Amino acid sequence: MQVLEATQKKEYILVVDDTPPNLQLLLTILSRKGYEASGVTDGATVLSNIQKQMPDLVLLDINMPNMNGFEVCQQLKSNSLTCDIPVIFISASDEVLDKVQAFAVGGLDYITKPYQVAEVLARVESQLTLRRLQRQLQEQNERLKQEIHSRIIAENLLQEANEKLETLVNLDGLTQLANRRRFDEYLQQSWQRLARDQQPLALIMCDIDFFKNYNDTYGHVEGDHCLQKVSLVIQQAVRRPADLAARYGGEEFVLVLPNTDIEGAMLVAQSIGSKLLDLKIPHEDSAVSQFVTLSMGVTSLIPKVDSQPSVLLTSADYALYRAKELGRNQTYQIG
């Protein structure tokens, strides 16, 4: 520890005061505190001395001959090499206008004479601490610039991983449609947006007819294959980026169709039924067809700000119930 202290570079403070006793007092105070300090008595000498040795801090009097403290500070701040040097004004003037001007030209603090030694040292140490932190930040920024290429690559990889994770979290593993979590989230978002815009929101609920019988006849492995085939048909019916197809649970599916009235939703439902029929997936234990069919409930309404999407969900669920009650393998609409 003693070795480190012996080799540590002292911080250098330049003191500017045209009154020799004041200048000598400040130099003595700073030296006894462990700083390296030197003094000059006029502004012009400040600028020439800085070219030889860059100070960590300047203590600057205001009233000096030829060039006052405000002018010295302005020149320091206008030079890119010296603009970051902290300046503390020390003056006998307690006028508000002088203090305002001191800060306006770039001073960071203002001490009024006569001053207390403890106050001077506290303010000096405060500014030097900020200066140290500023330099540390600059050094860190330089290191970051050197590492920026690898950091960007790492961030891109992380973003890709997060996007993949987000996709997995929102997908049903078997059908690759959106899962129930994503459906609930998206329905809420669409409801709020369309309530503001006063545009229609449609919902289609689908249920594979007699799917339990299908599993009993062909086995659960074939049942999973059947779900995947039906899911593909439903996904293909979703043509717009804003539309969402999801697995609602078991053999039930749901489609969220923003900006879609009941006529548009019925066209989507008819397309699903037609494409599923084209597949001709055998279902010998169905009571309505020799192939796999769907019952569908379709509804559409303009959301209200003071209501919830459960209104739409209940309506679609009831429409699906009516489609089943009327014999299945058909579509029932409400709206």
Structure token digits, residue 160 = 């890709």
Neighbours of 285 (CB within 10 A): 14
Strands 244-249 and 331-334 come out as unpaired
Q: Is 3 exposed, middle or buried (0-12, 13-18, 19+ CB in 10 A)?
A: exposed
**Contact call for residues 246 and 180 (beta carbons, < 8 A):** yes
Given 251, 252, 284, 325, the catalytic residue: 251
**Contact call for residues 305 and 296 (beta carbons, < 8 A):** no
Neighbouring-strand partners of residue 301: 201
Nearest to 296 by CA among 233, 204, 231: 204
Nearest to 211 by CA among 196, 200, 226: 226
Structure token digits, residue 217 = 């006849």
The long-range contacts involving 31-37, CB below 8 angstroms and separated by at least 24 positions, are 33/121, 34/10, 35/10, 35/11, 35/124, 36/10, 36/11, 36/12, 37/12, 37/13
109 three-state secondary structure: strand
Residue with tokens 């923003």: 258
- Is 251 a known active-site residue? yes
Neighbouring-strand partners of residue 291: 282
Rounded to 10 degrees, the C-alpha dihedral 241/247/253/258 comes to -30
| Residue 302 backbone dihedrals phi, psi, to 5 degrees | -95, 115
Concatenated DSSP letters of 260-286 = --HHHHHHHHHHHHHHHHHH--B-TT-
- Angstrom distance (rounded) from CA 275 to CA 270: 9
Q: Which residues are catalytic?
A: 251
